Chain A
Amino acid sequence: MTRLRASDRLASGVRAGIPYGAASLLLGLSFGVLARPVMGPLAAIVMSVIVFAGSAQFAALAVLSAGGSAAAAIVAGLLLNLRFVPMGIAIAPSLRSGPLGRALRGQALVDASWALANRGDGSFDVDFLLGSSLAQYPGWVGGTVIGALLGGAIGNPSSLGLDAIFPAFFLGLLVTELRRSQARLVAAVGATMALALTPIAPAGVPIIAAALAAMLGLRRAGHQRAAEPAAVVAERDG
């Protein structure tokens, strides 16, 4: 891959992240609308500003709406965020700064940025990742602000179908990963594990367990290297 300057890679990350930022705006909007009656507009906005993790926020909100404790809400949210442990390990060798710099860079981890910054050979373009997250953050926070302030005036997020945006968002990321037959097999096994575990395990656990499907990579040496890094594909298709 051509070694572009860090600022150029950051800028291309921002460009690649903008469509995901637009989708995040709609997701943030539905979070704001749903969170407002449970926690009030200010707390909903603060949560999006300092937590910035969509699925975890929805999970914690669901617990609080049902009258659950703070501990139960935190556990529900953190279980969903545990997937950032393997994602963080994956980007670790690509991080060149000192411990504090690495820990701060890690805060930019969100699903779309991580998937897009994947060069396909196991290495990650961390400047591209940061740019892509910078493009999504205003979408998520801005959407929450609009939803939390306007609330029900927007309509019921469920009757607007906004809850279908999350799976569509993840499906869009998934298809860019399926060029290799081995990746398709791993996706099929991961999906099957998630289907099997969803009725019996707390939310978040099926996702972490499905990550084990990646162990199929140990079966064969990586003789089918990805032809194109995801970041390049995203830039071309984006």
Chain B
Amino acid sequence: MVPTVWITIGGLCLGTAAIKAFGPLVFGGRRLPELIGRVIPLLAPALLAALVITETFGHDASLVFDARAGGVAAAAVALAVRAPLVAVVLSAAAVTALLRALG
């Protein structure tokens, strides 16, 4: 187990560094074509929406509807009343914990 763990950590560290360096190295310091410029401002809503879905409903390569969905609904309510982010994530955790305790 020990070598497996350290190989994983080393591989993830180097791979992540390479992934994060790729765009800045290859495309750095020059203007991107105008068409790409229209796509880039929309990457954030696309990626973040997908992350919300996979982190709410994803589990072992399947979709599940569990207590996290209730927690995320609570987070949405907290965001709607303009609660600070820390209150948003704590309400998500609290509601999820409560639903699991009840369920």
Contact = CB atoms under 8 A, between A and B. Distances in A.
Interface of A: 19-20, 22-23, 26, 38-40, 43, 46-47, 50-53, 55-57, 60, 62, 64, 69-71, 73-74, 77-78, 81-93, 95-97, 99, 102-103, 105-107, 109, 111, 114-115, 118, 120-122, 158-175, 177-178, 182-184, 186-191, 193-195, 198-199, 201-203, 206-207, 209-218, 221-222, 226, 230, 237
B45 A190 contact: yes
A107 B23 CA distance: 11
Nearest to A188: B49
Interface residues of B, number: 79
B42 A171 contact: no
Contacts of A218: 35, 38-39
Chain A at the B interface: mostly helix, strand, loop or mixed? Answer: helix
Give the one of B3, B44, B51 with max A CB within 10 A: B44
Contacts, number: 328
Given A85-B19, A93-B32, A160-B97, A111 B46 contact: no
Given A89-B23, A177-B45, A19 B85 contact: yes
Contacts of B32: 89, 92-93
B50 A26 contact: no
A84 B39 contact: no
Contact of B97 (A47, A111, A161): A161
Interface in B16-44: 16-17, 19-32, 35-44
Contact of A95 (B24, B43, B47, B53): B24
Interface of B: 1, 3-9, 11-13, 15-17, 19-32, 35-58, 60-63, 67-68, 71-72, 75-76, 79, 82, 84-86, 88-89, 91-98, 100-101
Given A55-B51, A171-B88, A189-B46, 10 more contacts: A74-B8, A77-B8, A87-B43, A88-B27, A90-B23, A111-B48, A164-B67, A166-B51, A168-B75, A207-B50
B29 A166 contact: no
